[in-house]
Structure 1
Amino acid sequence: MDYDLDDDPARIQHEVVWAWLSTEAYWGRWRTRSDVETQIGNAWRVVGAYDRTTGEQVAFARAVSDGVGFAYLADVFVLDAHRGHGLSKRLLQLMIEDGPGRDLRWTLFTGDAHGLYRQFGFAEPDRTAMVRPAFAHRTGE
């Protein structure tokens, strides 16, 4: 299969992104459609991969950043039928290495694909990193 990768936000197929994130993403199925739309709309950068034959979006990643020193990588996925073609590497290459945030301090939260992310310089946090758990203020934890 042949694919085009693009960082044009107008090309993102919101229905494809919503369908995958709302059913497959172990990290964020709590989000509403409106939440996902807001996240895409407010993203610093989005990258998609598209099947050249059908035009269907088959992969996605978004980033949030201040554009100067920090970027957060989120919602990275490749549809099952399109895995095994190197799309995740190409997606991250365009997002991180070939994009305007190459020299930023990047972070992400993930329970899998650590080997993939290590190829792009990600590592476990050092002593300078702290994380406030999500919704701590809502649950009283």
Structure 2
Amino acid sequence: MGYLVDDSRDRIDTDAVWAALREAYWAKWRSREDIETQIREAWRVIGVYDEETGAQVGFARAVSDGLGFAYLADVIVVEDHRGHGLGKRIVQAMIDDGPGAHFRWTLFTSDAHGLYEQFGFEAPDRTALVRPAPALPVHPTQAPANR
């Protein structure tokens, strides 16, 4: 089975991305409108497509200042297409083969550390601080719950 990795925003299948991300633990709180906005406003997107059917089977997006820093987000491969090295191909295309190859990259994940370590990601050093997000309601437009 062959796959094509492409960074054309116009080719992104929003329906396919929405279907994949609504099942992902890290994106369940986002609405379809949120996902569409994030795709539209991303610095860069990567799509992976089944060469036989043309269906989109993978995705990632990045947010960046375009000069020296980028955040990698929403790296996902549709379950039926996992095990073909597509996660590696997505990260390679985004990080090493794109215009941000010399940037400082960051990401947040609770799994797949082995994938990202292959591309030089490691635990933050003394120069990094993170302000965790407050607990979110079901959707960010709702009032925060009392704590």
TM range (shorter): over 0.9
Letter in 2 for 1:96: I
Residue 139 of structure 1: how far off its partner (Å) = 5.7
Residue 20 of structure 1: how far off its partner (Å) = 1.1
Partner in structure 2 of residue 2 of structure 1: 2
> Any idea what SS the aligned residue of 1:38 has?
helix
- Whether 1:31 and 2:30 are equivalent positions in the alignment is yes
Partner in structure 1 of residue 69 of structure 2: 70
* Structure 1 vs Structure 2 CA RMSD: 1.5
Partner in structure 2 of residue 43 of structure 1: 42
Name stretches of at least 5 consecutive residues in structure 1 with no aligned partner.
none
- Report which of the two has the higher share of helix: 1
> Any idea what SS the aligned residue of 1:27 has?
coil
Letter in 1 for 2:103: L
Q: How many residues align?
A: 140
Letter in 2 for 1:107: T
Write out aligned runs for 1:95-106 (5 A): 95-106=94-105
Counterpart Cα distance in 2 of 1:77 and 1:68: 25
Letter in 2 for 1:30: W
Name stretches of at least 5 consecutive residues in structure 2 with no aligned partner.
137-143
Residue 140 of structure 1: how far off its partner (Å) = 7.3
Equivalent pairs: percent with the same residue?
A: 65
Write out aligned runs for 1:1-141 (5 A): 1-22=1-22, 24-135=23-134, 138=144
Q: TM-score, normalised by structure 1?
A: 0.94
Report the CA distance shift for 1:74/1:140 in structure 2 as closer, same or farther (over 3 A): farther
